[in-house]
Structure 1
């Protein structure tokens, strides 16, 4: 259950393939590179429990850096590539990072974010940058053998900050050998058939929790990870066919973009190798998932969890077809649904979702934030929903996004799911805006497939479309258009940024 075993038994097997260039790193190469990283970190003075930050685009060195930190007993913080210097500086300072690994294109941001680190502790990948040491040169001076004091490290990932400053999600540093089994490896073997010889396609940024953790899990099984530099719907289908991909993980916006490809483009690719396509991170409209299962077959699995790892639900494609819209039954923690009075609600009633008795976590340097989402009923990810009589969880929306219009609770996810189905809609956000009479009014911002079509005629067409599918109280009163919505690469929408523009006018 560690890459060093596969480097010994099958050294030539590809561990990482970059989809765009075909650049390949074997298991022997991964072993050598991660050992060099571990030696470099020791040379820089980092010891067990210290922290590094990784601010990189998808690159062949990304995972070896994380494996080097893992075997050196360090905490590795993978950071978004979209951060401003202020945002990046907050995470670097908050995490206590003693070294930063940055892509050359992000070196300016990283330098501004970590002005007090010495040049030797600022490593640049993919080019040169003032104030940084090239990673290739730094590693070339290091041995490829294992360090003498290996111990198990782990990630500390920051929440995406869709409703405020991100917080580092911290769990205990693992004890025991670096190849000790962990909960995730057992989970993916049981639920998703991870096994030796698997071919795993990762289309999302590696700095996000699920892509990083699942790619590293695939390495524990000796699988080959094909990393896309960036997602493109037709390129994704090409990679599945080219490498005979068996496993992948996606987000619903990727499904939507692939479904909107021309029929001949969709039909041109052999996807028969796919055994498991996992999705999570954001709600998937029921009609979109029905369409994907009709196209790919019963290979689409879903889970509901979060970086915090306090709970986990899972649902197979067969279960989902029987319970459309569900995110499954809990396999980590007992689901509790609480009303506004903090009392437990029975099956079928909607309230805040908590997981009791699941995984433990804390927000780094923020006991108040930790206390706000944990308590006697367990921990919450901030979502609203209900459990049916069979124990299946159905999510309604995030509590922070609920709209109260004329005293009526409106969950915008329903309207977003409906508008997504219109052929002229590339993306959509629905939220509440100030209204003198109703308190809040339901409002939509749409990213059209062609911005030239934006205007009163398309707005009228979309309003008629959604009013034919939902009660009028759930429908937007008005629709604005935007060339691109502020969406995280993992599929999460930065709705707060849109709402703030409207509430700032009050």
Structure 2
């Protein structure tokens, strides 16, 4: 081993935890906390439970839970058991959960007691056995996690294989698609250490662990990944559940938070605080504030840098591919950029002929993270269409400047991003078309100062309903809204509905979605 290797600080929860047994490992909004030693023991107990339940390498567990201590415990147990971990948005309704259970071939489900009723219905629909339904808390028809692990050993299990996250993201059919990476025979410790570059590119030193504030739901890729990566660095975690700007500032002061991850919507709400509220808390401990998941207004970002200083880092990426990142200093000298590729990320901007475009020319953004190769589960056609050579695109377009910084120009994929959460129009349109009075519909994202975008639906009514009175149309609007609330998570439902006489389509019936969307963005100083 050379001197460089000797001086590299260890990374990986199971490597660092034994030397930090008495240090705070994690605390959630309920006040429950575990030291690193207690986390180590409980994670191992859950791993043994998975084996006792018959879970094999490559099997899938689905988790519908809030930001809780045991949610992270279950995740890390899956990551040393060779399992696919599928987080599901807890705002999802029964048909959405049922679809993911079935598509991911879920073998075991874990949920918060708050969501037991909907999870029970979805589990019944896909015949998940009763002994593979586990609850965080207590609920009829579920086995309590705490009771289930009571007799399990706290020792490391044998045959520790690194697991993977099977995240569901929007798909062209309107149904979410599972983004899957292969589970190999890499041991759990090596798998954890292999991602150390993600935090190190922000300058975070594993030899000097601090305390991170998790402000976003950990069913979202960014919140989950960066939280668990921090744990692998030996960082203590403070998890929020229901976020408010006032509480965030309070927790930063209370726990001397030195790193956190946010979405632009949170910046907007923080900036709405009165000056007195801003000044009431000591946030001088902050060293790294990472944001991403949605476009950020340049003016909003500039104001945050002025308030918090040059400690704000931005990342751009997706569940599918690697990404770029940018420091405050580089962003200020290149306003609007989303940065340069990470240490193991390859970036190319290609034209329609799959050739690389010149600097400053807009094209399709393709990336690859190291040797990473993903597939869309059960959709080889989408997987193939997303690839060019060894790279992949999620449909975004942009350009690179002379200094190698990437800028976004828009999205060809039509995905709507509301507060960092992806919504695919086709899924919403399919629900609206289920109403008997709807002849045609177009769903797009339109500007929203707080969330970045909001869902807008342009609807063409059938026959006689077109000339109906405003009273009748008001009733129809209410019926359509209720239909959406019944079949979609609340954040996917249109916040605005407009009835129109027709929608722009070509002779072949192709919808000109851009013609519906663009008028809303003409006065905005951004295109996404």
**Please, what TM-score do these two structures have when normalized by structure 1?**
0.79
- Measured in 1, the distance between the counterparts of 2:172 and 2:31 equals 34
Q: Deviations for 1:86-121, whole angstroms, at most 9, x for unmatched residues?
A: 111111111111110011111111111121122221
Which residue is 1:91 aligned to? Answer: 100
**Alignment counterpart, residue 64 of structure 2, candidates 43, 55, 58:** 55
**Alignment counterpart, residue 349 of structure 1, candidates 349, 355, 361:** 361
**Alignment counterpart, residue 347 of structure 2, candidates 335, 341, 354:** 335
Check conservation: 1:47, 1:73, Cα contact below 8 A. yes
- The within-5 A match list for 1:164-313 is 164-180=174-190, 181-195=192-206, 196-308=208-320, 310-313=321-324
**Alignment counterpart, residue 84 of structure 2, candidates 65, 68, 75:** 75
- Measured in 1, the distance between the counterparts of 2:455 and 2:378 equals 33
- The within-5 A match list for 1:87-166 is 87-115=96-124, 116-126=127-137, 128-159=138-169, 164-166=174-176
- Measured in 1, the distance between the counterparts of 2:334 and 2:101 equals 43
Which residue is 1:31 aligned to? Answer: 40
Measured after TM superposition, the shift of residue 355 of structure 1 is 2.0
Runs of 4+ in 1 over 4 A off after TM superposition: 160-163, 340-343, 425-428, 430-435, 496-506
Which residue is 1:476 aligned to? Answer: none
Measured after TM superposition, the shift of residue 200 of structure 1 is 0.7
- Measured in 2, the distance between the counterparts of 1:68 and 1:177 equals 13
Check conservation: 1:99, 1:121, Cα contact below 8 A. yes
Check conservation: 1:304, 1:314, Cα contact below 8 A. yes
Q: Which one scores higher on RCO, CA 8 angstroms, separation ≥ 6?
A: 2
Aligned pair in 2 of structure 1 residues 505, 88: CA closer, same or farther (>3 Å)? Answer: farther
Measured after TM superposition, the shift of residue 500 of structure 1 is 8.3
Measured after TM superposition, the shift of residue 7 of structure 1 is 3.0
**Please, what TM-score do these two structures have when normalized by structure 2?**
0.76
Q: Which segment is superposed worse, 330-339 or 237-246?
A: 330-339
**Alignment counterpart, residue 380 of structure 2, candidates 363, 367, 374:** 367
- Measured in 1, the distance between the counterparts of 2:205 and 2:299 equals 28
- Measured in 2, the distance between the counterparts of 1:188 and 1:367 equals 32
Aligned pair in 2 of structure 1 residues 162, 192: CA closer, same or farther (>3 Å)? Answer: farther
SS in 2 for 1:291: helix
- Measured in 2, the distance between the counterparts of 1:231 and 1:287 equals 23
Q: Deviations for 1:277-325, whole angstroms, at most 9, x for unmatched residues?
A: 00110000000000000000000001111111x2311111110000010
- Measured on the aligned residues, the alpha-carbon RMSD in Å equals 2.9
- The within-5 A match list for 1:406-417 is 416=447
Which residue is 1:10 aligned to? Answer: 20
Q: Which segment is superposed worse, 91-100 or 354-363?
A: 354-363
**Which sections of structure 2, spanning at least 5 residues, go unmatched?**
1-10, 417-443, 461-480, 504-528
Check conservation: 1:103, 1:124, Cα contact below 8 A. yes
Which residue is 1:447 aligned to? Answer: none
Give aligned pairs, total: 434
Measured after TM superposition, the shift of residue 505 of structure 1 is 7.1
**Which sections of structure 1, spanning at least 5 residues, go unmatched?**
404-411, 436-481, 487-491
Check conservation: 1:51, 1:76, Cα contact below 8 A. yes
